[in-house]
A and B are shown apart, each in its own frame.
Chain A
Amino acid sequence: MIPPDTTSKEQSDMSTAGGLPSEPPQAPPQASKAASAEKTGHAVKLKNLNAYYGGQHAIKSVTIDFPPNEVTALIGPSGSGKSTVVRCINRMHEEIPGARAEGSVTLDELDIYDPNVDVTAVRRLIGMVFQKPNPFPTMSIFDNVAAGLRLTGTKSSDLKELVHRSLVSVGLWDEVKDRLNEPGIGLSGGQQQRLCIARTVAIEPEVILMDEPASALDPISTLKIEELVDELKERYTIVIVTHNMQQAARVANSTVFMLEGEVIEHDETNKIFTNPNDERTERYVTGKFG
């Protein structure tokens, strides 16, 4: 995590990828512009967050700090509230009938639960990747990546370049560059999931939430997603829910262990997996329950 080093690495990556024969003049400046915006992640803070599904108290006084440009993993058995926490961060919990949240969620200084805050603005800043790849079936690969802009009514001066850049950043460009007009659902599961990540990256959020992004994928696709998460943290703050503890160990800077709607322990990933403070964490990460 040495900023100058990673920046130059990314810059060289982007300019190689951007150096296509068709558009050599404008691609490199565009790419370096993207790379120069290094460390653009923002901090998310949850404070005394409570969430309910009808009468069921799903999240109990959760307080978590998600530091900028880091990957934070949420682990815990099924029903421990990991996905609910993630949904509460971009207010997607409001889409579930009967669900409500109390407490405070802030993105830097912005109070996300402020009644004056536009929910669509929140979701533009905090992107989300779901468990099952969900590209839009009526749209081509290109349109899927461009969907975020079109759906939010954002004008882009150079849509082609943005789609190109987004697909490059998820490592999908070389695989799909010759069939951008084919339907997005024609791709394999792993490619579809990277397409969905590209769709999220294209709207240039500040935080990316990932709700078990690899649990429906094969091991090789999973590995690609994990490498991608590692790259994306240079630009974004990432919260990843996972059932796979090896995955948490591989990608996360810090790990939160949750149980029955409560945060049991939040520490450096290494600490959680080798020397946790709480006995329940230890039993979970060693596979004794859950």
Chain B
Amino acid sequence: MSATNAFPQISARRRRTDKVMRASLFAATMIALIPLILIIYYLIHKGLSAWTQSGFFTTDPTGSFFGSPGGIRSAILGSLEIVALATLISIPTGIGVALYLTEYGKQSWFANTVRYFVDVMTGVPSIMMGLFIYIVLVIGRVGGSGFAAWKGSVALWLLMLPIVIRSSEVVLLLVPSSLREAALALGAPRWRVVFRVVLPTAASGLVTGSLLAIARGMGETAPLLFTVSTAFTLTFSLNQQMNTMPFLIYTDITSPRAEIQTIAWGTALTLVVIVLILNLLARFIASRSRMA
């Protein structure tokens, strides 16, 4: 007992301050949660009724104001296609830049300049990417057509690239330098160290970062607005206008007809679920990481 008495007692004022601060932090958390929960509730509430319509996932939008609005098949496939192409170019280039920064450039002025511009690019509004591609590729009808799906992929590439670079660089820096030294001390050339030691060790983290970038690209509307435009019918030709989920939401929600608005909600729910699945996949892969 004497030992505990030796410690000074916590004053009533400190207890009070502690309570007030805890309560206000809790309140702030709740305030932040309310819109999140409302969005998800509203999406499910409005979107599920669209999901249950027959042919929602299997038919294309009709595009006509009257009659059946049709399903959203072409939007889902279009989005997946455009994002897939964007992923195909942004992951290798992004990881490549990150590898340059961590393995070769290190703290040189050039590497630091690149890092600075990558940071700036992360903050550039996505509509700028769309406008840029519009000016460079769409107006000049590069490839024989004005608006085209592949131009949307290029815009998304610009958007995803800095995200991939930044997340990959962080993960590559986590690879212990002792492993690089171990490999170099065996007489391995640097490129083999990169491909056989650094990349495999960082693999799960690289996948996680890339999936998050894909999820981000999936939901973007603005870069597609000026590059892909839109079409209702299903097409697999990347040199044509294509339907996409964000764009379909954008056009349908502004329609005065309630049935078409419902389609927009259903599309939004679909988009959120796809992004959610990508995020869960990223978490799952990260949790299986073997990196010490």
Which A residue sits closest to B199, measured CB to CB? A138
16 contacts between A and B (CB under 8 A): A92-B184, A122-B187, A124-B187, A127-B186, A128-B185, A130-B181, A130-B182, A132-B178, A134-B182, A136-B183, A137-B179, A138-B290, A147-B186, A147-B196, A151-B187, A185-B292
B187 with A123: CB separation less than 8 A: yes
A183 interfacial contact with B, CB 8 Å: yes
Interface residues of B in 145-197 (CB under 8 A from A): 176, 178-189, 192-193, 196-197
B142 interfacial contact with A, CB 8 Å: no
CA distance A228 to B191 in the complex (A): 32
B185 with A97: CB separation less than 8 A: no
- Which of A45-53, A196-204, A276-284 is found at the contact surface with chain B? A196-204
Instruction: Please name all residues of chain A whose beta carbon is closer than 8 Å to the beta carbon of B192 when the two chains form the complex.
Output: 151-153
Cβ distance A187 to chain B, nearest Cβ, rounded Å: 13
A137 with B291: CB separation less than 8 A: yes
Known A-B contacts A95-B184, A147-B183; A183 and B290 likewise in contact (beta carbons under 8 Å) = yes
Cβ distance A146 to chain B, nearest Cβ, rounded Å: 11
Which B residue sits closest to A125, measured CB to CB? B187
A136 with B182: CB separation less than 8 A: yes
A150 interfacial contact with B, CB 8 Å: yes
Cβ distance B196 to chain A, nearest Cβ, rounded Å: 6
A92, A97, A152 — which one has the most chain B CB atoms within 10 A of its CB?
A152
Which of B188, B291, B292 touches A152 (beta carbons < 8 Å)? B188
Cβ distance B181 to chain A, nearest Cβ, rounded Å: 6
A137 with B186: CB separation less than 8 A: no
Q: What is the total of A-B residue contacts with beta carbons within 8 Å?
A: 80
CA distance A120 to B191 in the complex (A): 12
Which A residue sits closest to B183, measured CB to CB? A151
CA distance A227 to B133 in the complex (A): 67
**Interface residues of A, count at CB 8 A:** 31
Interface residues of A in 199-235 (CB under 8 A from B): 199-200, 203
Chain A residues proximal to chain B, CB less than 8 Å: 90, 92, 95, 97, 120-125, 127-128, 130, 132, 134-138, 147-148, 150-153, 183, 185, 196, 199-200, 203
B201 with A138: CB separation less than 8 A: yes
Instruction: Please name all residues of chain B whose beta carbon is closer than 8 Å to the beta carbon of A125 when the two chains form the complex.
Output: 187
User: Apart from A152-B187, A200-B186, what are 9 other A-B pairs with CB-CB below 8 Å?
Assistant: A95-B184, A123-B187, A127-B185, A130-B185, A135-B182, A137-B292, A138-B200, A152-B186, A199-B186
Q: Which 9 A-B pairs have the closest CB atoms?
A: A124-B187, A151-B188, A128-B185, A123-B187, A138-B200, A148-B186, A134-B178, A134-B182, A120-B187
Cβ distance B207 to chain A, nearest Cβ, rounded Å: 14
Known A-B contacts A97-B106, A134-B179, A185-B292; A120 and B189 likewise in contact (beta carbons under 8 Å) = yes
Cβ distance B191 to chain A, nearest Cβ, rounded Å: 10
Known A-B contacts A97-B106, A137-B179, A137-B201; A151 and B290 likewise in contact (beta carbons under 8 Å) = no
CA distance A132 to B292 in the complex (A): 14
Which A residue sits closest to B290, measured CB to CB? A137
A148 with B187: CB separation less than 8 A: yes
Interface residues of B in 64-115 (CB under 8 A from A): 106-107
Cβ distance A44 to chain B, nearest Cβ, rounded Å: 15
CA distance A247 to B140 in the complex (A): 75
Which A residue sits closest to B292, measured CB to CB? A137
Instruction: Please name all residues of chain A whose beta carbon is closer than 8 Å to the beta carbon of B179 when the two chains form the complex.
Output: 134, 136-137
Which B residue sits closest to A200, measured CB to CB? B186
Which of A95, A147, A152 touches B181 (beta carbons < 8 Å)? A95
Cβ distance A18 to chain B, nearest Cβ, rounded Å: 24
CA distance A123 to B107 in the complex (A): 25
B181 with A150: CB separation less than 8 A: no
CA distance A148 to B291 in the complex (A): 21
